[in-house]
Structure 1
Amino acid sequence: MNIGLYFGSFNPVHTGHLIIASHVVNQTDIQQVWLVVSPQNPFKNAAGLLNEYDRLHLVNLAIDDETRIRASDVEFKLPRPSYTIDTLTYLREKYPQHHFSIIMGSDGFQNLPKWKNADLLIKEYPFIIYKRPGFDITETWNTNLQILDAPMLDISATLIRNNIREGKSVRYLVPDKVREEIERNNYYR
């Protein structure tokens, strides 16, 4: 099976993430997208990060009964911080029947040379890049690359967390079940 790995903090998961995941399974040969919840991103500050199990639960609520998108906690079992190459090495050993691709925005793709073992990632794995405004793809580093014009929503997890802190609504920015769970547990207050 062709699996697209969409890595992120998902702090919290929002409609923009789900639109991209859905677009990838609809417009490419990817049969399933795994939303890989990263316990700790080496490029991000861990402060303000909701507990990884709570974030995973929110992702599961968001995808509900969608069979082509699933949540993955694979990085919870691996050393921290999480490095993509380590996760892919583990997944390739555990699921030799699957072919893995990396899904990311053009903003993150620009930082690819800074990643741990970037040369190995480039050599071994295909990339599916969705364009983000203001982040043109000017260098491909000879990657196996597919570029998508995915529908973009200019929303971010930071905006959502700030709205919650300020007592503003996040309705329509996150799925209703996610919003209800955030409100019930007073997350991000």
Structure 2
Amino acid sequence: MRVGILGGSFNPAHVGHISLARRALKSLNLDQIWLMVSPQNPFKPSKGMAPFAERLASAKKLADGRKIIATDIEQRFGTKKTFLTVQHLQKHFPKISFTWLIGADNLPDLCHWYRGRDLIQKIPIAVCARPGCNKEALKSSSASWMRRWQRPEYKAGTLGEKGAPDWVFLHGREVDLSSTEIRKLALEK
């Protein structure tokens, strides 16, 4: 079984997350996408963060429960750092081939995450295009360091077949929407 992990705050989950998940399902030849709601993203302030149960509920509302599943597994593992979460996933689900999904806005900082360079060696990564972020992301020091393991997009369906390190940049229809903008609009009402 091939599963893509889309981790995030989902504060709230929105159509952009689902659009990205559907694109990844198809492009990467995945069986499922797990929307993994983070208890607390270490890069985001807790101020303004909706309660975990509310964020999980917003992700479950958008997930179809078959191909796209919302999960609280990171909270159950008691982890907040991606590298540690991936270790737990691979230990608890040894028969699943995981791919980590990130938006292009996260690529520039990837090597600076907790054990980011080790993470790249541990799990295949699909970087999904985001409006206004793609050029900067592909010119970043993280992308430069990872370039030797990048596969062409037309081979995205075989990502991870030989394990990690392996990554691809997925172009495609980008939804210009963010959870931050949604919260801002809600406050204006």
Question: TM-score scaled to structure 2, two decimals?
Answer: 0.82
Q: Is the 8 A contact 1:4 1:101 kept in 2?
A: yes
Alignment partners' CA distance in 1, 2:145 and 2:31: 26
1:140 is displaced (CA, Å) by 4.2
Match of 1:141, SS? helix
Q: Is the 8 A contact 2:104 2:133 kept in 1?
A: no
Confirm or deny that 1:124 pairs with 2:122: yes
- 1:90 maps to 88
Confirm or deny that 1:72 pairs with 2:71: yes
1:107-186 alignment, distance < 5 Å: 107-132=105-130, 133-136=132-135, 137-138=138-139, 139-142=143-146, 143=149, 144-167=166-189
- 1:79-134, CA deviations, whole angstroms, 9 ceiling, x for partnerless residues? 45x00011111111111110111101111011011111112111111110112223
- 2:155 maps to none
Q: CA RMSD in A?
A: 1.4
1:20-39 alignment, distance < 5 Å: 20-39=20-39
Q: Is the 8 A contact 1:32 1:70 kept in 2?
A: yes
5+ residue gaps, structure 2: 150-165
Alignment partners' CA distance in 2, 1:126 and 1:97: 15
Structure with bigger helix share is: 2
Which range is displaced more, 82-91 or 22-31? 22-31
1:163 is displaced (CA, Å) by 1.4
5+ residue gaps, structure 1: 168-189
Question: TM-score scaled to structure 1, two decimals?
Answer: 0.82
Question: Aligned match of 2:104 in 88, 99, 106?
Answer: 106
- 2:18 maps to 18
Alignment partners' CA distance in 2, 1:134 and 1:155: 13
Letter matched to residue 92 of structure 1: Q
Q: Is the 8 A contact 1:106 1:129 kept in 2?
A: yes
Q: Is the 8 A contact 1:20 1:150 kept in 2?
A: no
Alignment size in residue pairs:
165
